[in-house]
Amino acid sequence: MNQSSGAREIILLGLFLLVFGSVPFIKQSDYHLMLANHVLIWGMFAVAFNMLFGVTGMLSFGQALYYGLGAYSVGLVVKNYGSAMFLPALGLGLVLTIVISILVGLLVIRLSGVYFTVLTLAFGQLAWQITFRWYRFTGGDDGIQGIMPSGLLENHTVYYYFTLALVVVSIWFLWRVANSPMGLVLRCIRQNPERVRFLGRRVRRNQLRIYVISSFFAALAGGLMAGVTNSIHPDMFYWTSSGEVILMAVLGGIGQFFGPFIGATVIIVIQDVVGARTEYWSLIIGIIMMIMVLGMPKGLVGEIRGLMARYAAGKVNRG
Amino acid sequence: MDFSFIVMQFLSGLMMATLLFLVASGLTLIFGVGNVFNFAHGSFYMIGAYLAYQTVSVWHTNFWLSVLVASLGAGVLGMLAEALFLRRIYGRADEGGFQILLTYSFILVIDDLVKLIWGTEYKSLARPSGFTGTVELFGLSIPAYNLAIIGIGIVVVIVAWFVLARTRSGRIARAAALDREMLGSLGINVPFTMTLVFGIATAMGGFAGALAAPLRSVSPGAGIEVIIDSLIVVVIGGMGNFWGAWLGALILGEVNSFAVATVPDWASLFNYLVMVLTLIFKPEGLFASRKIRRV
């Protein structure tokens, strides 16, 4: 990374903080705050997912497993031990995620390509089924309601800033990973895993690492979301949640670090405009996905960058 | 647990295995021949089930005709999907990922189109006349329709094996799996072959959906359940392998049948258990025909 792009990132970060930091002051209702919260949390989830897919080339269709795990850890602990346990519960979800993602990761990274995708999907659906069926423990289809964060976090604005801080730190961390030597190895794994081995780097170990990292932030997203919506549902484990985060990444651009964040923003705005979960929501996202794959495989951010580069090149030629 | 219980469950498992095999073989066919992973294969199964419902319950025609309508309908839709959309991404960098994403979008679109046309409520279909009762066999009463499905499955296995192994079309399909470029230079219309194979694969999905319709209720969202089960089958058997799919279906069908009879609430977990065990001990599948590029 050279000097000028480093400066650009700092400007971007400042802009990001300015926009999201000012939401509590310019909002017209608590609804706007919730919407901004959704954008932050899904944005982080999508960026973390893209570390797996866009960077390393591992298309997981089962990140809902960790999203749900984070949410249900918070929900179940708060339901049984009171809202004072909100933060410890969030931590518990993250610890559980590390353990489970190592175990599941060891299995799923044995296979690559389509097999990897299907396996992650199967594990996600397995978790969904257990949550759905184990009525006495998880509340089954009823989900869990009334999950309130405690103390200062009870205030919506405070909770919003809490989320903002965690999301910024998480994205900063992921950015550092993406631009570290390990990030380079991950990119090489996507392009040519055999060559990575020739260079004396461990493919499997790096894949497992990024799987655990990505899952960790998926769980963080789930746990934070439980505090925003105050209620959770087994659907958080369902394959459609995994599909949604994939769509966000593809829409924004899987080749761009911040692309998935933009994708998440666009999807949440569309969801808000057409009414969240309309009857034909899957038709809408299906068509968006089809357009992106066939016409704009680089995603919104990637295509815009391409256009800008072309425009700049044109100017140079004319000048 | 007496002997007749075991025989009954075994036969019920064999029927499940047949249906699983019919779906999974389409999935494995297009993967083996065209190197295309059709994530939406279960959705074509669902289309088949709905077309059968439409033909029998709305148009009041014969059940076996509805099976034909379902297979043809799913086949034509599959050919359209391949020729209009999938073909555009062949040969693109990272094609595998884009295949999954594109066929994933098919699932979403088909799910909602089905809802638009047939509504969200569950549909059920009567068993065809002549197959509603039971057959007395070795002193056991076995549902006639289950036996019919097992019989159909055996016929399909033999026909499919014969076509793939002994006919010119089968040779072309197998050649396409090995080297498409060479096949093209020998004067075979490769793009058309791909479309046709894709259509045959989805037609098999629709065929299975129509046959299963009298046994399970038809509902939107069935696609994803079916695709996961057939994927477990092909993971066990080894993707792209015909006999592997058969063995995988047999194992999964039997495990499922006995699990449903003993621990009904948790039966579906056993499917995953079988898959996880396969992955731990033989990740390339029991019958891997080709070496999976392990990364």
Residues of B in contact with A195 (CB under 8 A): none
Confidence of residue B122 (pLDDT cuts 50, 70, 90): confident
Could you tell me the two tokens for A211?
């799987």
Determine the Cα–Cα distance for residues B248 and B242; give it in Å rounded to an integer. Answer: 10
Subunit contact B109:A286, Cβ cutoff 8 A = yes
Subunit contact A286:B268, Cβ cutoff 8 A = no
Q: What is the pLDDT of residues A116-155, one digit of tens each?
A: 888 898 899 889 988 988 888 888 888 888 888 887 888 8
Task: Please enumerate in sequence order all residues whose Cβ is within 8 A of that of A194, keeping only pairs 6 or more positions apart, or say none.
Answer: none
Closest residue of A to B225, CA-based? A125
pLDDT greater than 70 at residue A197: yes
Determine the Cα–Cα distance for residues A75 and A286; give it in Å rounded to an integer. Answer: 31
Q: Which of A107, A119, A239 sits opposite B224 (nearest CB)?
A: A239
Determine the Cα–Cα distance for residues B132 and B150; give it in Å rounded to an integer. Answer: 15
Subunit contact A114:B279, Cβ cutoff 8 A = no
Burial B225-262 (b: 16+ CB within 10 A, else e): bbbbbbbbbbbbbbbbbbebbbbbbbbbbbbbbbbbbe
Q: How far is CA A179 from CA A1, A70, A203, B191, in A?
A: 8, 27, 18, 42
Confidence of residue A318 (pLDDT cuts 50, 70, 90): low
pLDDT at B1: 58
- Evaluate whether A39 touches A264 at the Cβ level (below 8 Å): yes
pLDDT at A223: 95
Chain A contact present for B108, CB below 8 A: yes
- Evaluate whether A63 touches A121 at the Cβ level (below 8 Å): no
Q: Which of A114, A203, A286 sits opposite B96 (nearest CB)?
A: A114
pLDDT at B267: 79
What is the 3-class SS of B243-265, one letter each residue?
HHHHHHHHHHHHHHHHHHHHCHH
Question: How much of chain A exceeds pLDDT 70, in percent?
Answer: 96
Which residue shows structure tokens 């696609």?
B223
Chain A contact present for B94, CB below 8 A: yes
Closest residue of B to A248, CA-based? B101
Determine the Cα–Cα distance for residues A303 and A189; give it in Å rounded to an integer. Answer: 24
Confidence of residue B295 (pLDDT cuts 50, 70, 90): very low
- Evaluate whether A203 touches A210 at the Cβ level (below 8 Å): no
CATH of the domain at A135: 1.10.3470
Report the complex ipTM.
0.86
Subunit contact A250:B101, Cβ cutoff 8 A = yes
**Structural domain of residue A70, as residue ranges?**
3-318
Subunit contact B228:A282, Cβ cutoff 8 A = no
pLDDT greater than 90 at residue A170: yes
Task: For residue B239, give how far its alpha carbon lies from the nearest alpha carbon of chain A (Å).
Answer: 9
Determine the Cα–Cα distance for residues A17 and A203; give it in Å rounded to an integer. Answer: 36
- Evaluate whether B245 touches B21 at the Cβ level (below 8 Å): yes
pLDDT greater than 90 at residue B126: no
Determine the Cα–Cα distance for residues B243 and A222; give it in Å rounded to an integer. Answer: 42
Mean pLDDT, range B91-118, rounded to an integer: 89
Q: Which of A61, A115, A297 sits opposite B98 (nearest CB)?
A: A297
* Count of domains for chain A: 1
Determine the Cα–Cα distance for residues A112 and B154; give it in Å rounded to an integer. Answer: 33
Maximum average pLDDT range among A237-246, B85-94, B126-135? A237-246
Chain B contact present for A121, CB below 8 A: yes
- Evaluate whether A72 touches A127 at the Cβ level (below 8 Å): no
Closest residue of A to B86, CA-based? A294
pLDDT at B291: 45
Q: How far is CA A317 from CA A306, A307, A314, B284, in A?
A: 16, 15, 5, 54
Determine the Cα–Cα distance for residues A230 and A274; give it in Å rounded to an integer. Answer: 23
Q: Which of B105, B111, B275 sits opposite A293 (nearest CB)?
A: B105
A–B interface: beta-carbon pairs under 8 A:
109
Determine the Cα–Cα distance for residues B265 and B252; give it in Å rounded to an integer. Answer: 17
Residues of B in contact with A107 (CB under 8 A): 276, 279-280
Task: For residue A223, give how far its alpha carbon lies from the nearest alpha carbon of chain B (Å).
Answer: 26
Chain A contact present for B288, CB below 8 A: no
Which A residues, 15 through 44, put their C-beta within 8 Å of a C-beta on chain B? none
Beta bridge partners of B134: B143
Subunit contact A286:B266, Cβ cutoff 8 A = no
Q: What is the pLDDT of residues B104-113, one digit of tens each?
A: 999 999 988 9
Subunit contact A112:B109, Cβ cutoff 8 A = no
Which B residues, 239 through 278, put their C-beta within 8 Å of a C-beta on chain A? 239, 265-266, 268-269, 272, 275-276
pLDDT at B294: 37
Q: What is the pLDDT of residues B209-255, one digit of tens each?
A: 999 988 887 888 777 778 888 888 888 887 777 788 888 899 999 99
Calculate the average pLDDT of chain B.
Answer: 85
Confidence of residue A30 (pLDDT cuts 50, 70, 90): confident
User: Which one of A110, A293, A296 makes the best mutation probe of the B interface by having the most chain B beta carbons within 10 Å?
Assistant: A293
Q: Which of B31, B115, B228 sits opposite A125 (nearest CB)?
A: B228
- Evaluate whether B253 touches B18 at the Cβ level (below 8 Å): yes
Determine the Cα–Cα distance for residues B203 and B70; give it in Å rounded to an integer. Answer: 8
Neighbouring CB atoms inside 10 A of B202's CB total 32
Q: Which of A152-161, B8-17, B150-159, B219-228 shows the lowest per-residue confidence on average (mean pLDDT)?
A: B219-228
Mean pLDDT, range A26-39, rounded to an integer: 88
Neighbouring CB atoms inside 10 A of A309's CB total 10
Give the CATH number of domain B3-121+148-281. 1.10.3470
Subunit contact B85:A114, Cβ cutoff 8 A = no
Subunit contact A283:B109, Cβ cutoff 8 A = yes
Which B residues, 1 through 30, put their C-beta within 8 Å of a C-beta on chain A? none
What is the 3-class SS of chain A, one letter each residue?
CCHHHHHHHHHHHHHHHHHHHCHHHHCCCHHHHHHHHHHHHHHHHHHHHHHHHHHCCCCCCCCHHHHHHHHHHHHHHHHHHCHHHHHHHHHHHHHHHHHHHHHHHHHHCCCCHHHHHHHHHHHHHHHHHHHHHCHHHHCHHHCECCCCCCHHHHCHHHHHHHHHHHHHHHHHHHHHHHCCHHHHHHHHHHHCHHHHHHCCCCHHHHHHHHHHHHHHHHHHHHHHHHHHHCCECHHHHCHHHHHHHHHHHHHHCCCCCCHHHHHHHHHHHHHHHHCCCCCCHHHHHHHHHHHHHHHCCCHHHHHHHHHHHHHHHHHHHHC
Closest residue of A to B89, CA-based? A294
pLDDT at B273: 82
Determine the Cα–Cα distance for residues B82 and B199; give it in Å rounded to an integer. Answer: 8
